[in-house]
């Protein structure tokens, strides 16, 4: 069915005869096959007598050959799947089975994509980026503190390179445009950080998703909404990978402290009044920035305090 999707991806009408030739079936059988495509992948296909069939909206399919060439230039291996439970989970499975790292896993869709604090990550077919890079770290030689913030800089640079210049960061792992989420970062570790461990850098980017989804519980946007046209997802993966390698190299050699000023310059909530949630505890303060390890610095009632941890959540005060 991939050949059919390559034909239909432009959102234009294509004849039943052309589709039948690809599928190896009669024109009368084409619609039944396309209905299976709709049910399996969640796509909407329109049928108009005398004109043929088209997708309700154009899609951008990932190009394995281009991804493999780009990954090879960085010294990575790459795996592209049509559907996975989670790209992060697949990286961990492959690394545990002895696959060499760095390993990039991308997918056209996920059935169990997730973000921070166990939140569902919407993963419609061929619309967004579902991207995970697996690393092996030996002997605690790689500084893990502040790594998610360094990754956030890579995502920001890739989105700006794609034309979304209004993008900024929110501590610790969100990428926003006009207060709406466009991307996020989720790091997962397996093993002993002081010894031998595996680190998975999971990145989700809203590339071509359009308004109307009821399964997202926060304000969001996408590159397509911001730029007004369908984004080439393969080019986005390649750009993101180049920036990610750059920031990983800096982080490895000099730690997050070398990137601290750059990160604070694009932090959207610098100087803002916020509420930090740490379990049942609510802490109000003014954002001062981050420290050299990526911890959030707050002015709390005139006293500077630092906070870090995966279960922390930050939001603006209502009157901020």
Is 86 annotated to bind a ligand? Reply is yes
Helix, coil or strand: residue 198: strand
Catalytically annotated residue among 181, 224, 233, 260: 181
Q: Confirm whether 116 is a catalytic residue.
A: yes
Residue 118 burial (10 A CB sphere; 0-12, 13-18, 19+): exposed
Instruction: Output the CA angle 314-319-320, nearest 5 degrees.
Output: 55
Q: Give the max Cα distance, the chain.
A: 75
Is 115 annotated to bind a ligand? Reply is yes
Rounded to whole angstroms, the Cα distance separating 176 from 169 reads 6
Would strands 129-138 and 168-170 be described as parallel, antiparallel, or unpaired?
A: unpaired
Which residue, 74, 80, 39, is CA-closest to 61? 80
The answer for 91, left when phi > 0, alpha when psi is -120 to 50, beta otherwise, is alpha
Is 27 annotated to bind a ligand? Reply is no
Is 272 annotated to bind a ligand? Reply is no
Q: Confirm whether 297 is a catalytic residue.
A: no
Contact between 299 and 286 (Cβ < 8 Å)? yes
Helix, coil or strand: residue 248: helix
Catalytically annotated residue among 116, 157, 224, 233: 116
Is 9 annotated to bind a ligand? Reply is no
Rounded to whole angstroms, the Cα distance separating 55 from 192 reads 47
Is 110 annotated to bind a ligand? Reply is yes
Q: Confirm whether 317 is a catalytic residue.
A: no
Is 254 annotated to bind a ligand? Reply is no
Distance of CA 259 to CAs 43, 221, 267, Å?
41, 27, 12
Which tokens hold the place of 247? 């920031």
Helix ranges restricted to H, the chain? 2-8, 16-23, 27-41, 64-74, 87-96, 147-161, 223-227, 233-254, 260-265
Residue 161 burial (10 A CB sphere; 0-12, 13-18, 19+): middle
**Which residues are catalytically annotated?**
116, 181, 315
Binding-site residue set for biotin: 86-88, 110, 114-116, 181
Binding-site residue set: 86-88, 110, 114-116, 181
């Amino acid at each position: 069915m991939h050949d059919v999707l390559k034909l239909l991806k432009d959102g234009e009408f294509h004849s039943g005869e052309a589709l039948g030739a690809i599928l190896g079936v009669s024109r009368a059988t084409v619609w039944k096959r396309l209905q299976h495509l709709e049910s399996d992948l969640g796509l909407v296909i329109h049928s108009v007598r005398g004109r043929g069939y088209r997708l309700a909206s154009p899609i951008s399919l990932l190009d394995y050959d281009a991804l493999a060439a780009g990954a090879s230039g960085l010294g990575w291996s790459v795996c592209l799947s049509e559907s996975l439970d989670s790209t992060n989970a697949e990286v961990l499975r492959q690394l545990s089975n002895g696959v060499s790292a760095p390993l990039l896993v991308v997918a056209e869709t996920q059935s169990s994509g997730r973000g921070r604090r166990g939140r569902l990550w919407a993963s419609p077919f061929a619309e967004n980026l579902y991207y995970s890079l697996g690393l092996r770290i030996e002997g605690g030689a790689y500084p893990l503190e502040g790594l998610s913030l360094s990754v956030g800089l890579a995502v920001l640079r890739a989105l700006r390179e794609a034309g979304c210049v209004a993008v900024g960061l929110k501590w610790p792992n969100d990428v926003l445009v006009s207060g709406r989420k466009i991307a996020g970062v989720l790091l997962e570790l397996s093993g002993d950080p002081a010894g031998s461990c595996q680190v998975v850098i999971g990145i989700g980017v809203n590339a071509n998703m359009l308004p109307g989804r009821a399964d997202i519980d926060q304000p969001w946007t996408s590159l397509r909404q911001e730029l007004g046209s369908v984004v080439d997802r393969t080019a986005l993966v390649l750009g993101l990978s180049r920036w990610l390698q750059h920031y990983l190299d800096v982080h490895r050699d000099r730690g997050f402290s070398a990137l601290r000023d750059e990160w604070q310059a694009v932090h959207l909530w610098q100087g803002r009044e916020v509420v930090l949630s740490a379990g049942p505890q609510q802490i109000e303060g003014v954002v001062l920035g981050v420290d050299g390890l990526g911890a959030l610095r707050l002015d709390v009632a005139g006293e500077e305090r630092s906070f870090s941890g995966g279960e922390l959540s930050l939001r603006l005060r209502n009157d901020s």
